[in-house]
């Protein structure tokens, strides 16, 4: 499977020739945030997990006349298994600030997990709301009488839908998720300002390779296809030591080089803290050169079967 995964990554890299902007926020630590990209991953690991991410894009950027500032994004997510019915549920809330525009999402996911040989095939759907608001006070109008200046500050909320499929077996996993399937439009009262939510497809893959008993290397990839037309990718590699601390590097196509660090705390490594540092390698004359991302996640303890208390013995403890 290692060979197949590497061939898949190579084919994507060779086929990718251009980068286009995306409506959805980007996350450098995408490998710890699978629910956002694919509803089929809800509860797929059999663990209940809470995750929070804060991202400051182009840190320190300021508009010429102090109107607006650098993009920033916050995400809070929850994922849990429903073991009795071979399913999982998840939800997330995203707040994405882009200058005078603010996007707010609240989404609920359901996934059905189907055992296939020694692996697990999951099908998922996500339904929620997507709210977009614009602060008209931050526009600098050349013509104050422009008819587009009439809508003022406004907010609109629309339904949103996503579908996904995910497969994992042993040390590898692969998935495809597609969001914004309803083609929702935000017109703010004037056709020229219409802004449709175009579908975004996310293809993800990862493989855990055990170098030795204490060290695991995990290459991973995310391919982002906007409107089934424009394509870009992130390719990453993370090394994990004793399942407790990790470090890695990533490359976002024609955009940034990324370094990542993380550490797990508490019993069973339940609390994870991660940090990503982006160094922008393109168009630095119009951007600040660095971005920062902080991730915190907590995995709830697995309840004992039948409510029986677990009694540990030193003889078999490890």
Delineate the domains of the chain, giving CATH numbers in brackets.
2-307 (2.40.160.40)
How long is the chain?
A: 318
Question: Residue 167 has what pLDDT?
Answer: 97
Which pLDDT band, with edges at 50, 70 and 90, does 182 fall under?
very high
- pLDDT surpassing 90 at residue 148: no
Buried b / exposed e over 293-314, threshold 16 CB at 10 Å, is bebebebeeeeeeeeeeeeeee
- pLDDT surpassing 90 at residue 310: no
Question: Residue 14 has what pLDDT?
Answer: 45
pLDDT greater at residue 203 or residue 148: 203
Question: Residue 184 has what pLDDT?
Answer: 84
- Tell me the C-alpha to C-alpha distance, in Å, between residue 231 and each of 179, 192, 193, 206: 15, 26, 25, 19
Per mean pLDDT, which range of 28-42, 59-73, 261-275, 276-290 is the poorest? 59-73
Which pLDDT band, with edges at 50, 70 and 90, does 15 fall under?
very low
91 forms beta bridges with: 78, 108
pLDDT digits (tens, 9 = 90+) for 48-78: 999 999 999 887 766 655 555 788 999 999 9
Per mean pLDDT, which range of 39-48, 168-177, 227-236, 283-292 is the poorest? 283-292
What average pLDDT score do residues 163-168 get? Answer: 98
Prediction pTM value? 0.84
Which pLDDT band, with edges at 50, 70 and 90, does 305 fall under?
low
68 with 94: CB under 8 angstroms? no
Write down the H helix ranges in the chain: 2-15, 34-37
DSSP assignment of 271-315, as one string? EEEEEEEEEE-S-GGGS-SEEEEEEEEEEPPPPPGGGPPP---TT
pLDDT greater at residue 305 or residue 133: 133
């Amino acid at each position: 499977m290692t060979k197949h995964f590497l061939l898949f990554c190579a084919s994507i890299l060779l086929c990718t020739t251009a980068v286009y902007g995306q409506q959805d926020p980007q996350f450098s630590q995408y490998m710890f945030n699978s629910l956002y990209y694919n509803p089929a991953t809800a509860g797929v690991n059999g663990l209940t997990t809470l995750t929070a991410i804060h991202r400051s894009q182009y840190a320190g950027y300021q508009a010429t006349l102090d109107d607006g500032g650098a993009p920033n994004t916050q995400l809070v997510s929850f994922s849990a298994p429903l073991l009795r019915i071979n399913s999982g549920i998840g939800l997330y809330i995203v707040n994405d600030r882009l200058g005078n525009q603010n996007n707010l999402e609240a989404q609920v996911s359901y996934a059905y997990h189907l055992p296939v040989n020694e692996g697990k095939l999951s099908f998922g759907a996500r339904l929620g709301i997507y709210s977009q608001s614009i602060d008209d006070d931050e526009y600098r109008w050349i013509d104050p009488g422009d008819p587009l200046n009439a809508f003022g500050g406004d907010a609109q909320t629309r339904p949103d839908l996503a579908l996904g499929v995910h497969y994992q077996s042993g040390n590898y996993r692969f998935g495809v998720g597609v969001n914004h399937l309803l083609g929702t439009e935000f017109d703010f009262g004037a056709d020229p300002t219409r802004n449709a939510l175009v579908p975004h497809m996310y293809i993800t893959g990862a493989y855990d390779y055990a170098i030795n008993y204490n060290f695991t290397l995990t290459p991973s990839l995310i391919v982002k296809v906007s409107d089934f037309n424009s394509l870009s990718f992130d390719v990453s590699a993370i090394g994990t030591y004793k399942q407790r601390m990790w470090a890695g590097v990533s490359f976002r196509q024609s955009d940034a080089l990324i370094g990542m660090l993380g550490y797990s705390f508490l019993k069973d490594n339940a609390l994870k803290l991660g940090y990503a540092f982006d160094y922008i390698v393109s168009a630095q004359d119009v951007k600040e050169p660095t971005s920062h991302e902080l991730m915190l996640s907590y995995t709830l303890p697995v309840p004992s079967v039948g409510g029986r208390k677990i009694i540990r013995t030193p003889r078999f403890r490890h």
